Structure 1
């Protein structure tokens, strides 16, 4: 499959299992500052299922990307691969990759929006006073950052070096071996035993 080639197939829906209804689309692209990726989309008209992903086709050295979040960096482009961990330590929030992790391209404000949505869901799930208090505090801190008030640190750790923060202000660091061993990748593996 080359850059201009688009592959479309009709498949069995992974959600409702209706045969011959879901459309699978795959396209190889070259994304600046990121490299070659495979963009995949599955849509099912029967049940409304939709899944999109960006899968990196190149592997680089592990990297840790660090950027100060402030009013001037909210529009900075962020590429997060499906294997990256995203955190803002000052607020105490972190998203680690799992088996259903998806890659995405957004900006710093988009990352804050994703965290905000997750905290709002947590507010509905946990009803005890302590959880509510912590979630509301976290939500307030995220909203203040989105307004350009205050600063915090955005950290993306990618064991395969496929993520990126596109800014002259970003620090790109090596990940120490002991830290690298602790990082989740989102991929399952079976050990011989």
Structure 2
């Protein structure tokens, strides 16, 4: 794929799916080249009447499916992590796993930021399951373990898997592996994927 050196904008109008107003939905598509992620397509929609808005980013570059594994402790909290919208993050020792969904977004953070995101998700689970003792106990145990990692009392593996190879852990100690086709196909992507071979068989 040709490298995109400059931003390319494209704007069009459509009817709003929320308020049903005609020709009030402004749809903007923009291609850009982002460090770590490569070429991306940014899509934003905004209704000039009701104010409805939404945005999405899609990586246009596909690389070999990959897995990065990094043992994390206090010395690795600042290690850079680039997670695309198709990546799965796992900390198996803590029973934590985040898979991509239809609204997944890519982002660049560090290990501490990843731990904070897990922490926020567990705190949300605590609020939503108030009164369920088993879930509360499990959630509190996970929070204690996250704190232990941040404070240097525990070392765990951070695993980043991406079937499209658009994610990475930027650390010299991170182990990078190419996934087998079977491993890549077992991962969630957040996308609906149509197999051209299946279409030809129909």
- Scaled to the shorter chain, the TM-score interval is 0.7 to 0.9
Distance between the aligned counterparts of 2:89 and 2:185, measured in 1?
Answer: 16
Distance between the aligned counterparts of 2:5 and 2:184, measured in 1?
Answer: 33
Query: Which residue of the partner structure matches residue 138 of structure 2?
Result: 134
Note the alpha carbon deviations across 1:25-67, whole angstroms, 9 max, x for none.
4432222333212234445677665544331111111100111
SS of equivalent to 1:102:
coil
Query: Which residue of the partner structure matches residue 103 of structure 1?
Result: 106
Query: Which residue of the partner structure matches residue 75 of structure 2?
Result: 72
Note the alpha carbon deviations across 1:141-166, whole angstroms, 9 max, x for none.
22333345422111111111111112
Q: Which runs of 5+ in 2 are unaligned?
A: none
Query: Which residue of the partner structure matches residue 85 of structure 2?
Result: 82
TM-score, normalised via structure 1 length: 0.82
Aligned pairs, number: 193
* Structure with the higher fraction of residues in helix conformation: 2
Write out aligned runs for 1:36-55 (5 A): 36-42=39-45, 51-55=54-58
Contact (CA 8 Å) 2:163, 2:185: kept in 1 or not? Answer: no
Distance between the aligned counterparts of 2:7 and 2:81, measured in 1?
Answer: 24
SS of equivalent to 1:72:
helix
Change (3 A) 1:61 1:135: same
Q: Which runs of 5+ in 1 are unaligned?
A: none
Which of residues 153, 157, 180 in structure 2 aligns to 1:176? 180
Supply the RMSD in Å over aligned alpha carbons: 2.8
- Detail structure 1 runs of 4+ shifted over 6 Å in the superposition: 45-48, 190-193
Contact (CA 8 Å) 1:53, 1:103: kept in 2 or not? Answer: no
Change (3 A) 1:166 1:50: farther
